[in-house]
Chain A
Amino acid sequence: MQISCVTLGPRTEGPWSSGRGIAEIWGGGVYPDKRWEGWIYWLSRRADLKLFTAYLNVHNMLNPYKVAKLKSFERFLRYMDMDYHLDPSKQTKMHEFIRHFCSIGS
């Protein structure tokens, strides 16, 4: 996996009263979800996603269903790296892959 381009930035531990949250450490944002009056943490930048998936490979989730999802998700990121999403001849493969991805665990 190519993760050498991922940078963490100045993410050193802060003092107790000024520590960092999930969004500050991993990137992404926190948005209100009006459907159920809750909040949702959303990470979509590809470099951040790669770092997060690398983290989940080191710290095992101990959940076969989630690990299977993780493996498929990593494969999709590799497809994105290979620009499959921009190739018209790969559209069928991409849609089929997403359909398979969504069916994991169901």
Chain B
Amino acid sequence: MAALVSDLQCHYTAICWDGFYLTGTRAVSDLGPGPVKTQSRDAQSAGNLFEGSSETIRSATPGDESDADFNDWLAGLIDADGGFYLSKQGYASCERTMHSKEVQTLAFIKHKLGGKLTPRLGSNSVRWRLHNAQGMNELLHRINGRIRTTTKLGQLSRVLASKGLELLHPTPLTVTNGWLSGFFCGDGHFAINSSNYQPSIQIAQKDADILRHPWPKD
């Protein structure tokens, strides 16, 4: 707990309104090794086709851990309202639609992973869609083992199976995991009751399991 509180106190958030990027910066006194990830994946992958997809290799890959927070955030965002699709021809794709006022978030994802942003007619929203094979491989590499909702796990397993990859099970959710940040970004909101001044944080979901147990039951 003490470590968490000190970690929370040493972080600041900066917003760059002119560009597409938001960066979390840390105090100079905290420029050490950063938060230590103590959890480990439960399952061992096997039979992965592309280099670095094995969780054993992946955790040791330079640059991977630095993006772990983004990967958790992205998995949470897709869990909230994204989707994986497999065409009849066997082509995999991933989509995420957000309101046009949140287009910067999708632009940031596009900057990291590629894909295409398309305004949706009549709904004041924008869709990010990724369907090229290389981009999908990178996306799967990033979020496999981080998706937690039953529906998205089903979609993801079909896409992974089409590429001959194994679905990794997510680790239990903790306060140090960035998944909830992405999930809240997608489906949560802040509210203040003007009559009794009651502030609240809400997350709406069709499936209650993710709110109580963020992974499928055995």
What is A's interface to B at a CB cutoff of 8 Å? 1, 3-4, 6-8, 11, 13-14, 16-17, 19-26, 28, 30, 32-33, 37-44, 46, 49, 51-52, 54-70, 72-73, 76-77, 80, 85, 94-95, 98-99, 101-102, 105
Contact of B169 among A16, A46, A59 (CB under 8 A): A16
**Interface SS of chain B:** mixed
Please state if B199 and A80 are interface contacts (CB–CB under 8 Å).
yes
With A21-B214, A22-B212, A61-B184 already in contact, the answer to whether A40 and B17 are too (CB < 8 A) is no
Q: Say yes or no: A8-B185 contact (C-beta < 8 A), given A38-B206, A40-B203.
A: no
- Decide if B29 is an interface residue (CB 8 Å cutoff): no
A4 pairs with B181, CB closer than 8 A? no
B180, A30: Cβ atoms closer than 8 Å? no
Chain B residues, CB < 8 A from A60: 13, 22-24, 73, 181
Q: Please give 6 more A-B residue pairs, beta carbons under 8 A apart, in addition to A3-B5, A21-B173, A26-B175.
A: A14-B172, A55-B181, A61-B185, A64-B15, A101-B190, A105-B101
Q: Which residue of A lies closest to B38 (CB)?
A: A13
Q: How many A-B residue pairs have CB under 8 A?
A: 171
| Residues of chain A with a CB closer than 8 A to B49's CB | none
Q: Which residue of A lies closest to B178 (CB)?
A: A59
Given known contacts A39-B208, A49-B199, A64-B22, is B192 in contact with A98 (CB within 8 Å)? yes
Bin the interface of chain B by size: 35 or more
A52 to B5, CA, bound (A): 12
Least CB separation from A32: chain B residue:
B208
The reply to whether A54 and B8 form a contact with Cβ atoms under 8 Å apart is yes
Between B171, B173, B201, B205, the greatest number of chain A beta carbons within 10 A of the residue's beta carbon is seen for B201
